[in-house]
Structure formats: C-alpha cells, structure tokens
Structure 1
Amino acid sequence: MVQYNFKKITVVPSGKDFIDIILSRTQRQTPTVVHKGYAISRLRQFYMRKVKFTQQNFHEKLSAIIDEFPRLDDIHPFYGDLLHVLYNKDHYKLALGQINTARNLIGKIAKDYVRLLKYGDSLYRCKCLKVAALGRMCTVIKRIGPSLAYLEQIRQHMARLPSIDPNTRTILICGYPNVGKSSFINKITRADVDVQPYAFTTKSLFVGHTDYKYLRYQVIDTPGILDRPFEDRNIIEMCSITALAHLRAAVLFFLDISGSCGYSIAQQAALFHSIKSLFMNKPLIIVCNKTDLQPFDGLSDEDKKLVMEMKDEAMKTVIGQGGEAINDDGVLLTMSTLTEEGVMAVKNAACERLLNQRVELKMKSKKMNDCLNRFHVAIPKPRDQKERPACIPQAVLEAKAKAVTEKEKRKLEKELESENGGAGVYSANLKKNYILASDEWKEDIMPEIIDGHNVADFIDPDILQRLEELEREEGLRLEHEADDDDFEMDGKELTPEEQEALAEIRKKKSLLIQQHRIKKSTAESRPTVPRKFDKDRKFTSERMGRQLSALGLDPTSAVNRARSRSVSRRGRKRERSLAREDSDVDAMDMDVDQPGKKLRMRSRSRSRSRSRPPGDVTPGEGFKDSAQKVKAMKLAKKSVKNRNKDARRGEADRVIPTLKPKHLFSGKRSIGKTSRR
C-alpha cells in the first residue's frame, strides 16, 4: 500500500480566485437584507456576522492548504530529500510560512473589527467597518498571491510524481546514460518508459512492478549519472543520487561493455568507484549489457581488469553487510536487452539476493525472538531401528515425468507468436484443440445457420443413406403418378397437326409458368401497375384474338365478351356522371330564390359529397357494427362530462409552460439547496 499519495492535495486557487470564492460564499450564506429602522444591536450583529463568517472561511481554506502539503521533517527521508532537490526546501517552507502568517493576520483583523463593531452607533458606520475589514483581509490574500501560485505549481508537479513505497521490496537500476536501463525495466515490468538512442532520455524516476516467488517487487528506473563532483550534478542526476541514498533496495549497476553509449568502460568504472559509498549494506549486482554488440569474452585485458576490480568491490560490499559470502556468478552478470538473453537471470538474481537479505535482517531483529518463543517444534521419537522412507506410487512418478516432458515439448502461444512474426502478424488457431474423430476435420468450415434454420438441429450421421432412400421413393412415386395420370395426353392417338398444336400449348404453358415464378419472386420489390397504364400493350383483345387464332381456335366470342364488358363499364361511368350533372342542375334551380352566392356554393358542394353519419363503421376502426360504435361514443362522452363541467384542462387544451419556474428565479436559497446543480 502506498503511504504517500500527493494526488489528493486540493487545488490551490490564485489570489484573485481565492477572494472571489470567499466573498461569493459570504454573500450567498449570510443575510443580505438590512434596514436603517432596525435596532442598533441588530445592525451590529448583522455586520459582525459578515466579518466573522469571512474570517472563518479564509481560516478553513488556508488551514487546508497548510495541512495537506507534506511537512519535509515528518515524511520519509527519501521524499524529503526528493522534494528538496526538485523544489528547494527553503522556498517551499517560506511559501507555507507566508500562508500561515496570512491566516494569523486575517484572524487578528477580524478580531479588531468585531471589537470596533460592538461600538458602532449607526448603520452607515457599521457598514463602513465591515467593508474595511473585508478589504484588509483581501489585501492580505493579494500579498500572498505569488506564494499561492508557487504552491499550485508544486502541487501539480507532485501529483505527477511516481507512487514509490520506500519500505517495500525494491530493485534500483543505475548507471551512465544510454546503457540500457529503461529497456531492461520495459522487459521485466509493464512500465512503458521512453527509449531513445541518445543520453538523458529518462529525466525523472519511473516505477514498474514485477513478481518473483509470488511476491511483488517494485523496480525503479533512475536517470543517468555522470562522473563529476557532487556540487556540479543537476536536478536530474540528484534524483538518482537521492534514490540510491535512501531506499533499501537491490542495486543493479549497468555497464555498457560495447561502448555504444558514448562512454568507455574506464569512465563507467570511475563512476562506480565515486558512488560506491551509496551501495553499502545493499545487495549489488554489476550487469554487463549489450553483449549482442560486444561479447564479454572479447573485451581487452585492461577492460576485463577494470570489470574484475568492480566485481571485487561488490564482493566486499556484500561481505561487509554481515551476511555470508555469495557465489561469484551472482555479482557479475551479462545480458542483452535486444535479444533478451540473460534478462530473466538478472531479474531472478536481484530478487533472490534482496529476499535473502531481508530475511536475514528480520532474523536478527528482536521481533523475531519474540515470535520464536511462541513456536514449539515437535520431533517424534523413533520406536525401532527400521527405516520408513516416503512411499510414492510408481504410477504417480511416471505421470509426473510424462507431464514434465509434455510441458517441455509443448510451446506456448507467446513463443509461437514470436517465431511467426509477432503481434499483428501471427493469429492463434482456436481450432487446433478440438476433440474430433479425425484431425483432418478441424479446419472444416462449419455453417451455423442456413436458410434461417439451425444446422445443429439437422445433423444426422445417416443423412446420406436416408437421402438415397428418399430419392428412390420419390422416383417410384413419380413413375406411378405418370402411369395413373388421365389428364395429360400422351399424343399417341392424335394426328400430326394436333400433336404440333399440343406441343405449342405445352411450350406456351411452360413459358407462362416461368414468367409467373419470376414475377412472384420479385413481387415484393415491384409495384403493381394497373391495366390502364399498360405501356407494352400486353393485355389487349386484339392480341388475345391473334393468339387464339394461332392456336386454331375461333376468337370471336371471347373478343365480343371482352368488348361488351368494357362497354358496360364505360356505360355505368357515363350514367353516374349524367346523374351527378342532373342533381347539380336541380340544386341550381332550387337556389334561384336564394340571396347569396355562398349559400348556392354550399348547397352545390353538399349535393356533390355527403358526409358519413357518425355511427357508420369504417374498416380499421375496430368496431363490430354501428351499435357497438354508438355505444363506445356514448361512453367516451360520459367519461369527460365531469371534467368539462368543472372547466378543467383536457388533452385538447393549449399548454403554455412556465418559462421562469419560481424555485429557480426567486430570492436567496438556504444552505445545501444548490447541491442539485
């Protein structure tokens, strides 16, 4: 759990915003109406309340700023020195001291003016004293405006600092710039530190987390350090020095043995010897990086001698801790972050060394002695001289050995991905673990839905055999139907002319069936065209006569019947139009004696179209007959009778919404009523 969370510090307003916030709160949360006719005691109390309320608000806001910013003497020395490096301890304390002084001054101003207001003899004098008190308070806040702006910048920067726990298991990476520190932390954690081929890409501390033996380790990437006097180091380098000085961590000192970082091994060895005092009482590992460019065995004798001297110093540091001497291989390690060779070995060695050191320190502490007094280890006494080793069945051992071999043979998806082009190129095969009768079936395309049906409902292992049986039955049935068909003529007893006519009829019938099927398939997307808009003239009596004549039939009766139908239709239409004209003439005769033209037009329109009675039922209304509709209309009229009698507003009345609701536009609001905003 992170002990220090600087992201929770409240925003520090500027001097002008500070004054606006406090005066606005005073205006909103204190009474504003006062009359000169009030008693003088009431007037004094009114303005004294204003001054006291303003002072309390200033005091609360300034106290919150002082309390929320960390005190450098009370927090962990790592954070205390880091804040001193970043912001200068003196300026930081001066700014907070000015805030505290302003808080005390505002309290004294309020106290003095409340004492003066007790002797105010008029509304005007009390008001002048109140204005003077609030003005002097605001002047004090204006004077500390630069300190408020400075603290706000510090707050923003502190909120961006990494959340480092100084007391947890920590691995610290240090070395010259551009030796591969950020690449290493990106490999072993999920941190995303920017990596560039130039020095000082990392300008601040970065934190990542990794796991080892079910424990969480915090890995800190520090900016590069140059070999120069302590006074000449800049803020970026001092961040690394601060972390090395105060964090109890396993230190990984990175060496670039290829020289591609721009610094020789001699320069890096000089840096190691200049800061080796910071490595005391800490597990130290010297990591030779970039072995893909320069193998360790290919170094010159001078460079190897320098590296071995560093290794001896690291061994002295380890033995000087009070712990036991460790293996030489655990102090000097080689790796390459590009090929990832040796990366996990370095991580595991650092975690193991740190874990052993923490266990040793706990074993030496007094707390461990208190805990050991509570334990009792019971050792059973042997009852005879017979050996009783642990008995593990042979089947279990074989199964375990088989599982280990399978695990070694089986490749993980991550390994397959790296072998086949990496992320975005390799696509995992989700079908390779399907349990099927044959491995060849795994890549078959399996449709799920066909023609709106679920394929799984129709899966049958004997489907092909049943299909053959159905086709056989269908063929037998068609043969029987052909034998029993009495409606179709086989043409054996017809003359050659009749056989030709029969062939034409059957051909025409098949064409008509095909046209009908085409029209039926496109019926949804094709509009229905009336016969009178038949531009292609497909349905004329002359064409019908020609087709019947071509078939050897007499078309006279059919053509006459079609013509008689059209004539009768036109005759009925003509009769209706004549009847309408006669009714119009009669209406005009009736309107001769009427005085106005409007009345004549109204009688003429009524004669042309008469409205349907209210009780008539039209299709789609949902009524069975006229009686049911009349009954429903009576019930509807009865249901609104009381509402109409009381002149209440109904669904047909015009609605004018309230444009300025009273609760939003009237007077002052009490405390707590603005939370809905």
Structure 2
Amino acid sequence: MVQYNFKTITVVPNGEDFIDIILSRTQHQTPTVVHKDYAISRLRHFYMRKVKYTQTIFHEKLSTIIDEFPCLEDIHPFYGDLLHVLYNKDHYKLALGQINTARNLIEKIAKDYVKLLKDGDSLYRYKCLKVAALGCMCTVLKRIGPSLAYLEQVRQHMARLPLIDLNTRTILICGYPNVGKSSFINKITRADVDVQPYAFTTKSLFVGHTDYKYLRYQVIDTPGILDRPFEDRNITEMCSITALAHLRAAILFFLDISGSCGYTIAQQAALFHSIKSLFLNKPLIVVCNKTDLQPLDGLSEEDMKLVNEMKADALKIAIGQGGEGTNADVLFTMSALTEEGVIAVKNAACERLLNQRVGIKMKSKKINELEKAHDQKEKLPCIPPAVLEAKAKQAAAEEKRKTEKDLEGENGGAGVYSMNLRKHYILADDEWKEDILPEILDGHNVYDFIDPDILHRVKELEREEGLRQAVGLN
C-alpha cells in the first residue's frame, strides 16, 4: 500500500544560498594551505581534489532535489492530476529537467578542468584553473535560479496538501458553494474547516475521520463547484473534479433547498446532471440540506420535480451497482444547524460504502476459486503423526505422580500407613531393597564399619603390608 507524504521533501535553497552552501562546505572539507616546498605533483593533486569535491557536492544536492520530487507518471493518477491542476505539469517537468541538465553540465565542466589540471606546470596555473572551474559551476547554477525558486514554491504548497489514504474507506462531499458541506464535516469529524456565510470559503481539500461499526472512515470536504464549461472552471473547482474522478468513495451531493446559498435548485440540479458521469460505480446519496429554513415538503412543484429527477438518477446508479435502490438509500434530508438527520446521513453513506466494498471482494476471482475448491472436495480432519506423538508425550508428562502424602491418604492416614523409604534405593538388584541389615555382629556395631571405599582402603593396606615385608620391618 503506497502512502504519499510530500512533507518530507527537502527544502530547495535559492541560487545564491545554494552556491554559498557548496563553496563553504568545500572550504571546510578540503585542505586550504599550500606550502612553497610542495612538489608539483602534490600541488596538482591539491587543486584536482578541490574541483572534484565541489562537483561531487553539486551532484549530491541536485540529485536529492530530482529524486525527492515525485515523478507524475509514477504516482497515483489522483495526485498526478492534482499536481497538474495546481502547478501545471509542463512547468514542473521543465524545472526538474533544467536541474538535471545543470547537474550534467557541472559534471562535464569538472571532467574538462581536471584534464587541464593534469597538464598544469605551475602553482599560478593551478590556481587560475581552479577558480575558473568553480566559477563555471556557479554560473550554471545561477542560470537555474528561477527553476529552484519555482520548485521551492511547489514544495511549500505540496507540504500543505492533506494526507489522503487512497485505499481506505472514503466519503466525498461535493456540491455548489455555501450549501453546508464544511458544516457537515465539522459535525461528524474533528476537522476544523472554516465556515463563513459566503461562497468559496473552502479553497482546497480538507480531510477528517469518523467511525462507524468500529471502522475508521475518511471524510473529504471539497471546494464548491459551479455549473459552467470545463475550461472555465478555476483551480479550486478542478481540485474537486479531480477528487471525484479518481477517488473510490461514497459521494454525498449536497443540495441547498432553501436557496440561501445564492443558487437556485435548478442551477444545482444542472450541476448534478453535468457531473453525474463521475458518480458511476460509486455509492451516491443526494442530501437536501438546510431543512430548518425550508422543509422538503414545502418546495414548489418545479423544484420538487428537479429533486425527484436527481433521486431517480441516483436510483439508477444504485441499481447499476447491484444494490436494492430503495428511496431511503439515495435521498436524505438534514439540517447542519440543528443537527437533525446528520447522523442518519453519515450512517447511510458508511453502510452503502461498506456493502459495496464487501460485494467487490466477494465477487473477486480469488474468492470464487476458494469456493469451488471447497465445494468439490470433502475435507476430512487430518492430524499429522508428529502432532499426535507430541500430544501423547505432553499428556504423559502432565499425568500427576502420586506422592507419599497421597499414598498415606489412600491407605488410612497417619499412624496407619508407614512410608517405605527403601523403595527408592538405587541397587544392582531390586530384591536387595528389602534385605534386613544386622545392627550388631560379633559384638560390634555394623554401621561403624560401613565404608563406601572399603575395597580401596583394603588394597592400600595390602600394598603397605607388602612394602613392609620387602624392607624387613616385620
């Protein structure tokens, strides 16, 4: 799942600051003192290093700018079209192309002057070639100063774009300006969108989040759209059109039936019919807002006919998606001021979107293959032999061993049962465990003569006796 975060793009300095940064870094990272006793080869290496290091820093900085700015062909079409609407992709590509050209020119200049430095024969010539090389690099960079300034403006604007998850559950609010879209998103989310009693208060996309059935939903507020030709729409309107065209979302088309927004129901219905091609394959709900000022039942016959036509079109879209298409699914009334019907609209949109996403997953090829595999084969329980052996060992280990306390309780308790301590003796023959050891033998206590090392001691005594006899002591 790809996430786009344009806030991480590095700041683009202007031409003069760029040059100051590069030359200052070159001054600090390379040697600066030349002694008169240096050999000509060492002088040559000294100035060649200056030129090469400067070119390397230029290459790193310019490459960072080129790599961090997104390629419009490689990102999601929503962001590609949105960036084109906001900045004009031709100017954007031209600026990045000039940065790339400058990078290649600086690399070529460095190679040429390194060749000249190899042929130098004096300190004066080396100094002149180094100054000329750095001067040419800085001149190239100054010429792309306007492109750097343009890219910095683009970066600042991109950093202010909201973070939109293109794969999550999304609810998109659209309609004429000043019909209550921002008020609705403020009611159901924690978004703090500015609300004013004039048109085009919202000039960009705003994102909020709400919960339904323990799932997080993304709610997007779009700028107002006017019913006019495509080529006459401004940038804010095109942001809304781009979101409608590319985002997989449930659409809430807001309709101000009171007319307080400054536009009639006929104008709002005309906008609905002009952009309804963008609603295909998406859950659509028509929301009649500001019922506190004008109830739906109090509309004139002409206005009611327009509302019914929009409802019929929304029903057709719902039926085309395989939904039930009931009246309650596609037309709701609410008032953002009194909050009447606000939760009902939110719940209906979330439910429609959830049902659509579940239906798409159930129709997927993978689900069908799994169902066929399970339908045609009888799945019997199978436990591997290794698992059975492990379970048997575990059961044997868990079996409780009876202690002497347990045996005492089973055989009459204390005073009746006498513990047999000999049964745990470790002897060569188990029959020896019950043998009776004499306590007195030949008038001596037997336990005084029990020694586990008796055989070893006898051998030592025999050896000592033999030595005594050999020496003649006995």
Residues 125, 353 of structure 1: CA spacing in aligned structure 2 closer, same or farther, 3 A cutoff? Answer: same
Give the 4+ runs in structure 1 shifted more than 6 A: 373-380
Q: Does 1:202 align with 2:202?
A: yes
How far has the Cα of 1:165 moved from its partner?
1.3
Rounded Cα–Cα distance in structure 2 between residues aligned with 1:142 and 1:372: 65
How far has the Cα of 1:340 moved from its partner?
0.5
Residues 331, 378 of structure 1: CA spacing in aligned structure 2 closer, same or farther, 3 A cutoff? Answer: farther
Q: Does 1:300 align with 2:330?
A: no
Partner of 1:311: 311
Partner of 2:181: 181
Contact kept, 8 Å, 1:55 with 1:107, in 2: the verdict is: yes
Partner of 1:356: 355
How far has the Cα of 1:2 moved from its partner?
7.2
Amino acid at match of 2:204: S
TM superposition score normalised by structure 1:
0.55
Rounded Cα–Cα distance in structure 2 between residues aligned with 1:335 and 1:10: 45
Amino acid at match of 2:62: L
Partner of 1:89: 89
Amino acid at match of 1:219: V
Rounded Cα–Cα distance in structure 2 between residues aligned with 1:351 and 1:275: 22
Rounded Cα–Cα distance in structure 2 between residues aligned with 1:100 and 1:373: 54
Contact kept, 8 Å, 1:2 with 1:163, in 2: the verdict is: no
How far has the Cα of 1:204 moved from its partner?
0.5
Q: Does 1:20 align with 2:42?
A: no
How far has the Cα of 1:362 moved from its partner?
1.1
Q: Does 1:333 align with 2:342?
A: no
Q: Deviations 1:198-238 (Å, cap 9, x if unpaired)? A: 11000100000001111111000000000000000000100
Contact kept, 8 Å, 1:36 with 1:123, in 2: the verdict is: no
Contact kept, 8 Å, 1:287 with 1:333, in 2: the verdict is: yes
Rounded Cα–Cα distance in structure 2 between residues aligned with 1:379 and 1:45: 77
Q: Does 1:190 align with 2:190?
A: yes
Rounded Cα–Cα distance in structure 2 between residues aligned with 1:272 and 1:167: 26
Partner of 1:636: none
Amino acid at match of 1:133: A
Structure 1: 5+ residue runs without aligned partners? 381-677
Q: Does 1:247 align with 2:250?
A: no
Partner of 1:672: none
TM superposition score normalised by structure 2:
0.78
Rounded Cα–Cα distance in structure 2 between residues aligned with 1:96 and 1:305: 53
Residues 374, 129 of structure 1: CA spacing in aligned structure 2 closer, same or farther, 3 A cutoff? Answer: farther
How far has the Cα of 1:375 moved from its partner?
6.3
Secondary structure class of the residue paired with 1:174: strand
Contact kept, 8 Å, 1:179 with 1:254, in 2: the verdict is: yes
Rounded Cα–Cα distance in structure 1 between residues aligned with 2:318 and 2:288: 19
Secondary structure class of the residue paired with 1:275: helix
Rounded Cα–Cα distance in structure 2 between residues aligned with 1:50 and 1:170: 55
Q: Deviations 1:187-207 (Å, cap 9, x if unpaired)? A: 000000000111100010000
Residues 113, 235 of structure 1: CA spacing in aligned structure 2 closer, same or farther, 3 A cutoff? Answer: same
Written as runs of structure 1 = structure 2, the 5 A alignment for 1:428-467 is none
Written as runs of structure 1 = structure 2, the 5 A alignment for 1:288-437 is 288-321=288-321, 323-372=322-371
Residues 256, 379 of structure 1: CA spacing in aligned structure 2 closer, same or farther, 3 A cutoff? Answer: farther
Amino acid at match of 2:65: I
Partner of 2:424: none
Secondary structure class of the residue paired with 1:66: helix
Q: Deviations 1:503-559 (Å, cap 9, x if unpaired)? A: xxxxxxxxxxxxxxxxxxxxxxxxxxxxxxxxxxxxxxxxxxxxxxxxxxxxxxxxx
Q: Deviations 1:91-138 (Å, cap 9, x if unpaired)? A: 000000000000000000000011111111011101111110000000
Written as runs of structure 1 = structure 2, the 5 A alignment for 1:497-536 is none
How far has the Cα of 1:35 moved from its partner?
2.1
What percent of counterpart residues are identical?
85
Residues 50, 297 of structure 1: CA spacing in aligned structure 2 closer, same or farther, 3 A cutoff? Answer: same
Rounded Cα–Cα distance in structure 2 between residues aligned with 1:131 and 1:367: 66
Partner of 1:164: 164
Rounded Cα–Cα distance in structure 2 between residues aligned with 1:84 and 1:361: 31
How far has the Cα of 1:166 moved from its partner?
1.5
Contact kept, 8 Å, 2:173 with 2:254, in 1: the verdict is: yes
Amino acid at match of 1:361: I
Partner of 1:550: none
Rounded Cα–Cα distance in structure 1 between residues aligned with 2:332 and 2:370: 37
Contact kept, 8 Å, 1:222 with 1:240, in 2: the verdict is: yes
Residues 144, 379 of structure 1: CA spacing in aligned structure 2 closer, same or farther, 3 A cutoff? Answer: closer
Rounded Cα–Cα distance in structure 2 between residues aligned with 1:367 and 1:151: 45
Rounded Cα–Cα distance in structure 2 between residues aligned with 1:366 and 1:9: 39
Rounded Cα–Cα distance in structure 2 between residues aligned with 1:370 and 1:120: 75
Residues 50, 357 of structure 1: CA spacing in aligned structure 2 closer, same or farther, 3 A cutoff? Answer: same
Amino acid at match of 2:11: V
Amino acid at match of 1:87: Y
How far has the Cα of 1:315 moved from its partner?
1.0
Rounded Cα–Cα distance in structure 1 between residues aligned with 2:304 and 2:264: 12
Rounded Cα–Cα distance in structure 1 between residues aligned with 2:192 and 2:72: 30
Residues 140, 301 of structure 1: CA spacing in aligned structure 2 closer, same or farther, 3 A cutoff? Answer: same
Residues 180, 2 of structure 1: CA spacing in aligned structure 2 closer, same or farther, 3 A cutoff? Answer: farther
Q: Deviations 1:243-274 (Å, cap 9, x if unpaired)? A: 00000100000000011111111111011001
Partner of 2:77: 77
How far has the Cα of 1:328 moved from its partner?
1.3
Contact kept, 8 Å, 1:2 with 1:164, in 2: the verdict is: no
Q: Deviations 1:61-102 (Å, cap 9, x if unpaired)? A: 000000000110000000000000000000000000000000
CA RMSD of aligned residues (A): 1.7
Contact kept, 8 Å, 2:315 with 2:326, in 1: the verdict is: no
Rounded Cα–Cα distance in structure 1 between residues aligned with 2:370 and 2:170: 26
Amino acid at match of 1:156: Q
Q: Deviations 1:405-444 (Å, cap 9, x if unpaired)? A: xxxxxxxxxxxxxxxxxxxxxxxxxxxxxxxxxxxxxxxx
Rounded Cα–Cα distance in structure 2 between residues aligned with 1:37 and 1:187: 80
Written as runs of structure 1 = structure 2, the 5 A alignment for 1:541-556 is none
